[in-house]
Amino acid sequence: MGTSAQTVLGMVEGGSLGFTLPHEHLVFDGTSIFAEPSISSEKCMAHAPLGLDILSWLRYHPYENLDNVRMLDEDEATAELLRFLKAGGSTVVDVTIPGIGRDPEALCRISRMTGVNIVMGTGLYTEPSLTQRQRDMTVDEMASLFINEIRVGVGTSGIRAGIIGEIGCNWPVAPTEVKAVHAAAMAQQETGASISLHPGRNSEAPFELAETLKNAGADLSRVLFCHTDARLRDPFDRMRLADMGCVLEYDLWGWEGHFPSYWTSDDYMDLPNDTDRIYEVMSLMEQGYGRQVVISHDICVRSRRVCWGGWGYMHIPTYVVPMMRKRGMTEEQVRQLTVETPRKLLSFL
């Protein structure tokens, strides 16, 4: 096992990563996931500026306001990340990739301003978010792109990615997405980087993708399945995926209620609250899967930031970890979740 991780500012010793959030977005353009409200009386909300008067509505319509899904303000991102630093955080994995507005230079500036390690992703997001040129790429071309961005850098910037993903998939998986999953497996074999995979919003999606990756030769112990808390609500399903060797990523801490109905093909797609998440993670630990779980927030809309009344990147270290301790999680278990497992996944083989 290697001991170094690759950040946007260069290689760092894995031991210096510290408290790590493995799935966040700092600069993000969610235009491709924006959906105008279907109710006529609410259509005016689609292009309203983000403000206090619409925050209550956004709790259950986060992706139906264009200003909310476009996190383009570097100063806002910097201020929010400083809160994470003050709360004891050290490293953030920004899994924003082509299709949702990746900006390597901005990530470098934010890292320098805050002192927080930022690990950048490489990959391709869901098919609808991509250009025709990206959709037309072959598997080999995609794999070459991912490998080059890890070994050389994005374009001519010299800024290198440190993780593959989040590879975006819908349900059913679109042809371009299937190619990207195969390319991710090839890039992992070539570079040793971990894969972060966004499965479609259906409970069977993670298993189909896990089989695809396995057949393509991927190391499933270095594959993070995003949004476990919004895909696998059945405990048996969580154990089933863990038994395949995969890492279960609980990455929606702070968000509870339900997914927007137009987003899911599963009627049951309710979200747990943070207390439910804690007990689910503790149950996985008790059953021997504690080294296969990581936690994050997946902040991809502005209303989830502190300056707009949200929980922010500091929510887990400030509020969740103390709740974990009160409910019986040991310091060793907390450290495994927030430091050791992320360090192992971000260190290159």
pLDDT at 25 over 70: yes
- Per-domain residue ranges of the chain: 4-33+49-59+70-346
**209-215, long-range: CB < 8 A, 24+ apart:** 209/169, 209/173, 209/181, 210/241, 210/244, 210/246, 212/178, 212/181, 212/182, 213/181, 213/184, 213/185, 214/244
Compute the residue count for the chain.
Answer: 349
What proportion of the chain, given as a percentage, has pLDDT over 90? 93
Name the more confident of 42 and 1. 42
Given pLDDT bands bounded at 50, 70 and 90, which one contains residue 258? confident
pLDDT at 225 over 70: yes
CATH 3.20.20.140 applies to domain 4-33+49-59+70-346: yes
> Strand pairing of 247-250 and 293-295?
parallel
Is-cis flag, bond preceding 172, omega within 30?
A: yes
What is this structure's pTM? 0.97
Half-sphere exposure of 292 (CA within 13 A, CB side): 25
What residues contact 214, with CB distance under 8 A and at least 6 apart? 220, 244
pLDDT at 264 over 60: no
